[in-house]
Chains A and B, each alone.
Chain A
Amino acid sequence: MTMTKATDMTGSSASGKMNFGQLARDNGTFLALIALILINMIITPNFLQVQTLYVNLTQVATIAIVAIGMTLVIASAGIDLSVGAVMALSGALAPFVFLSEFGMASPGLALVLSIAVALLAGLLCGMFNGWLINQFAIQPIVATLVLFIAARGLAQVLTNGNLQVFDNPAFEFIGSGRVLGIPFQALMAVAFALILSWVVRRTAYGRYLLAVGGNAKAARLSGISVNRVRLATYAICGVLAGFAGMVVSAINSASDANQTGQLMELDAIAAAVVGGSNLMGGKAPIIGALIGAAIIQLVKYTLLANGVHDAVALIAKAVIIILAVYFQFNRSE
């Protein structure tokens, strides 16, 4: 186990550049994505249309953004169950700011402030998770369970469980704007992925992260501040979840503390795992997480577009997760 992790680390840092062939070998999921697209071209009517692409990009972006953060957390041998609840909290906080009296008085400042507050909430939630895990040596699954329960509750208390409907074109741009014809949040997802995969491969933090996930004790002995790496990782995951929460509110022109981000932790974990993450830590395939998110989205879309029962999509998702993990395991042996 330690051997494979060591080779993974040197492999990814030595080659640096990531080409498609390596992606296919490393993930296998990339080929699955191509296969899915080819199948869709044959069986799904109107698949090769710009509209289809937009629908899928719009829907996949939130999963992808959260999955990127989750990939980092999983790389540190952790897990973050709170991302969906943090989305609900951030998604509710942003409109709360620009709908307030102050927000009505100075809309420009309020817009900046609302986005800052939402991201800050995500950051604090993430740091809280990291702090719990560091300070009390609580397992990540239990530590993040606290905010999984409490953060959505806070969002509901804040909004009294009601929809906050708003009409704020500038804020809605986050969820329905387009740059060069491409949905804004899809561009953001790609930007986050590129930045963070650069960070993982090229910065000290990235190397420390993989070292901590591979073997925390060895990392500590070699002088890495394991606690700071963990804190940063959960903080990044929290900020990304906060951003995703704003995207969902912006798409709907309303925040819904009850529904926003519901079950998102599972989709994000699934996307990360399908993308090649190993729950034991030590690997951070961020581009893989994007592909994993795309696969999950595309399977859902394929089934829906072909009139298959919504519930069957859940079963299909289950099968995909099992197959992805099974084949990864077999290859690593």
Chain B
Amino acid sequence: MFGMFNRSRDLRTEGVWIAVVLVVIFATLRYDNFMGLYNVQTFFGYNSMFILIALGMALVIMTGGIDLSVGSVVALSSVVAAYASPYGIEVALPAALLTGIAAGAINAFLITKMRIVPFIATLAMMLGARGMALVLADNKSVSVDWTSNFTKFGLTRAFGLIPWAVILAAVVFLALWIMLERTTLGRRILTIGGNPEAAKLMGVPVNQTLAITYIISGACAGLAGVILASGFGAGQPLEGLGWELSAIASVVVGGTLLTGGVGSIPATLAGAVLLGLIFNILNFENGLGVISLSAYWQSVIRGGFLLIVVILQSRSGGGLARRRGTT
């Protein structure tokens, strides 16, 4: 069991956990309701979407690729979920999931069969999925059916305690963690990212493995779309703008090298949580009335935060990147 922690035992991935713990301690001492049930539930309920797409993105980045389409795919699958909502969550969730998988499969086809670099292929999918979402939704939000059990998924809690969205994200988190650390597929993903040529020579089915990571990333975006539609009561073709970049930021904060080959699923979770905590704390800080930062300051602070993290990481991991000849 302890073997699972081996790969995350270096400064880059431990640093993000230390940061999360410090931030949580700080916030717990400073704000009365920070550890309150309501805040914790809302925090994880809302951030489960970002956690999901960050997890999928992490796998793609570990192979040395990138998936710019996730934000648009969230929007598209939220629209599909909203249209399928009258048939209940048991139909809407698979429908949105399949939408995400289809988008991921198209990305995989463009990258592995048409040999288009991931950045461009997923950039095209980002435009294509956004266009598709707008066409399907006729340029406006698509209301969900409130009489079916679809919105219960987004608005009620399992055992009256844990939002269903969180359970969904937790299941995906565990599955991907075990997959990466314990299965052949996981090892292949990291091998390809470390050195694609060597991986090919070793007989790793590179294309097949790449395809699976893009499909998983699409599937995660599809699930995030279900959470979006059921939590906010509508399929939203214009939502998800820039989410791919938040996801990349989470992955980077989590210590995964953008050049691939190194990465950790738990640290990615921590990265997404840390970025979410910044918003949460700014809200509390505004609530205290000590300072009054407009929402716009949040982007400046988030950018500054990302800056600090990448600089610290380049200091601690630069040697590794240099040895691999990627800088």
B249 touches A145 (CB 8 A): yes
Select which of A141, A157, A313, A319 is within 8 A of B66 by beta carbon. A141
Q: How far is the CA of A137 from the CA of B322 in the complex (A)?
A: 9
In this complex, how many residues of chain A approach chain B with their Cβ under 8 Å: the count is 47
- Chain B residue at minimum C-beta to C-beta distance from A322: B124
Q: How far is the CA of A146 from the CA of B252 in the complex (A)?
A: 12
Interface centre among A266, A317, A318 (most CB of B within 10 A): A318
Question: Which 9 pairs across A and B sit closest by C-beta, in order of nearness?
Answer: A150-B303, A153-B299, A314-B131, A311-B134, A156-B296, A318-B128, A315-B131, A149-B303, A136-B314
Chain B's nearest CB lies how many Å from the CB of A171?
A: 24
A315 touches B127 (CB 8 A): yes
11 other A-B residue contacts (CB within 8 Å) besides A321-B120, A322-B110 = A132-B311, A137-B314, A153-B302, A156-B299, A157-B296, A161-B294, A266-B126, A315-B132, A318-B127, A322-B124, A329-B115
Select which of B127, B258, B310, B315 is within 8 A of A314 by beta carbon. B127
Select which of B119, B132, B311 is within 8 A of A79 by beta carbon. B119
Contacts of A139 in B (CB 8 A): 258-259
Residues of B81-135 whose CB lies within 8 A of A: 110, 114-117, 119-121, 123-128, 130-135
Q: How far is the CA of A317 from the CA of B306 in the complex (A)?
A: 31
Q: Assuming A314-B130, A314-B131, is B124 touching A321 (CB within 8 A)?
A: yes
Q: How far is the CA of A22 from the CA of B132 in the complex (A)?
A: 37
Q: Which residues of B contact A (CB under 8 A)?
A: 66, 110, 114-117, 119-121, 123-128, 130-135, 139, 245, 248-249, 252, 258-259, 294-304, 306-307, 310-311, 314-315, 318, 321-322, 325, 327
Tell me if B's interface is mostly helix, strand, loop or mixed: helix
Contacts of A138 in B (CB 8 A): 310-311, 314
Q: Is A194 engaged at the interface, CB distance under 8 Å to the other chain?
A: no
Interface centre among A151, A157, A313 (most CB of B within 10 A): A157
Q: How far is the CA of A17 from the CA of B124 in the complex (A)?
A: 33
What 1/0 flags go to A282-322 for Cβ under 8 Å of B?
Answer: 00000000000000000000000000011111111111011
A310 touches B302 (CB 8 A): no
Contacts of B115 in A (CB 8 A): 329
Select which of A146, A280, A313, A314 is within 8 A of B307 by beta carbon. A146
Contacts of B314 in A (CB 8 A): 136-138
Q: Is A269 engaged at the interface, CB distance under 8 Å to the other chain?
A: yes
Q: Which residues of A contact B (CB under 8 A)?
A: 79, 81, 132, 136-139, 141-143, 145-154, 156-157, 160-161, 217, 266, 269-270, 273, 279-280, 309-319, 321-322, 325-326, 329
Q: Assuming A314-B127, A321-B120, A322-B124, is B300 touching A136 (CB within 8 A)?
A: no
Contacts of B66 in A (CB 8 A): 141
Q: How far is the CA of A191 from the CA of B115 in the complex (A)?
A: 35
A152 touches B248 (CB 8 A): no
Contacts of A310 in B (CB 8 A): 134, 139
Interface centre among B133, B259, B314 (most CB of A within 10 A): B314
Chain A's nearest CB lies how many Å from the CB of B286?
A: 15
Contacts of A151 in B (CB 8 A): 303
Contacts of B302 in A (CB 8 A): 149-150, 153
